[in-house]
Amino acid sequence: MAKKKSDPIATSEPSKLKKKETPKIKTEPKKEKEKTEKEKLKNLKVKEKKTVEKKQKKEEKDEKAEFSSEQKLVALYNLQQIDSQVDKIRIIRGELPLEVQDLEDEIAGLGTRVENYIQETVSQEKSILEKQNGIKDSKILIKRYEEQQMNVRNNREYDSLSKEIEFQNLEIQLTEKRIKEFQSSLEGKKQEIERLESVLDERRADLDIKKNELGDIIAETEKEERDLIKSSEENQKFIEERLLTAYSRIRKNARNGLAVVQIERDACGGCFNKIPPQHQLDIRMHKKIIVCEYCGRILVDDGIVNYVK
Ligand SMILES: [Zn+2]
């Protein structure tokens, strides 16, 4: 193996990071603090370059050691931002099909209810018709009994026929009452069917809109996701395998997919446990990759965060 004595990557900053700097120089005057922060970082980088040159021979075994810890931290934080965006896209895309599914389920449920009501109205209409026929039969019977009463031989026969007539009249009254009840329930069901059908129409229109939206979003986000994954991969080039493996492992175990977090109010931005002052100092130095002693997430200070932003 030839010794890469003057590897260009070792002495120059990654082009991606460099590009980002140019527009940032034109910051508004009120962001004075941020500006000086950046200046500091830049100076730090210049110093780092020299030390990197000196150290280079020692670190040649590690293929990506030519990047300073600071560069790695920037790349790691950047990687986290990109990967988080990918996570967000995937969550959104995961929720939309569920919404469509919910609507489809609701429409199916409404359809079944309408179908059941229709079945019930059909059978009620049939029994109303049967009852109306029953009344006709009773009326025929009454007529027959009345005719028979004209030709009775004694009072007993006459009374017996009167009782039959009375019974049939009661039967008619009862049946008419039933028919009224059925008709009112039938009316209620028909109104309910109408109502459900208008709800169904609305839901079907919603579903159409949602399905179109879903198609658009899938097409849109797939492109965005591809671009993000591409820039994620570009960022990974600045980070050695060992760190990348750790990054992926932490990300997979963390509920929110965060493996690189910022110090916020002296605490880890991932698990919110306080970070000891000495640790915070080390983190601000950008000389080492430092992880939270509670959750194992990689910690960065606002210097790195502002640089990436
Ligand atoms: Zn933590």
- Residue predicted with more confidence, 305 or 21: 305
300 Cα–ligand 1 center, Å: 11
106 within domain boundaries: yes
The pLDDT, as a whole number, for residue 220 is: 86
More confident residue, 179 or 22: 179
Is 62 inside any structural domain? no
Percent of the chain with pLDDT over 90: 63
Is the model's pLDDT at 38 over the cut of 70? Answer: no
Same-domain pairing of 110 and 227: yes
Query: In Å, how far from its chain's centre is CA 284?
Result: 37
Asked if 211 and 257 sit in the same domain, the reply is no
Residue 211 and residue 291 in one domain: no
pLDDT over threshold 80, residue 221:
yes
Q: What is the CATH number of the domain that holds 135?
A: 1.10.287.1490
pTM of the prediction?
0.53
**263 C-alpha to ligand 1 centroid (Å):** 9
Higher pLDDT, 167 or 34: 167
306 CA to middle of ligand 1, Å? 20
Distance of CA 153 from the midpoint of ligand 1 (Å): 110
Return the residue matching tokens 């995937």. 90
pLDDT digits (tens, 9 = 90+) for 130-154: 999 999 999 999 999 999 999 999 9
Query: What is the distance in A from the centroid of ligand 1 to the CA of 105?
Result: 42
Poorest-confidence range of 5-9, 46-50, 138-142, 284-288?
5-9
Mean local confidence (pLDDT), 250-266: 93
Q: Which residues pair with 220 in a beta bridge?
A: none
Domain tally for the chain? 2
From CA 191, how far away is CA 198, in angstroms rounded?
A: 11
**Of 186, 219, 234, which one is at a domain's C-terminal end?**
234
Strands 267-268 and 298-300: unpaired
Could you tell me if 114 and 200 are in contact, meaning their C-beta atoms sit under 8 angstroms apart? yes
**Is 48 part of any domain?**
no
- Domain of 270 in residue numbering reads as 240-309
Above 70 in pLDDT, residue 25? no
**68 vs 61, residue with greater confidence:** 68
Expressed in angstroms and rounded, the spacing between residue 275 Cα and the centre of ligand 1 is 8
Asked if residue 255 and residue 157 are part of one domain, the reply reads no
Q: Is residue 281 part of a domain?
A: yes
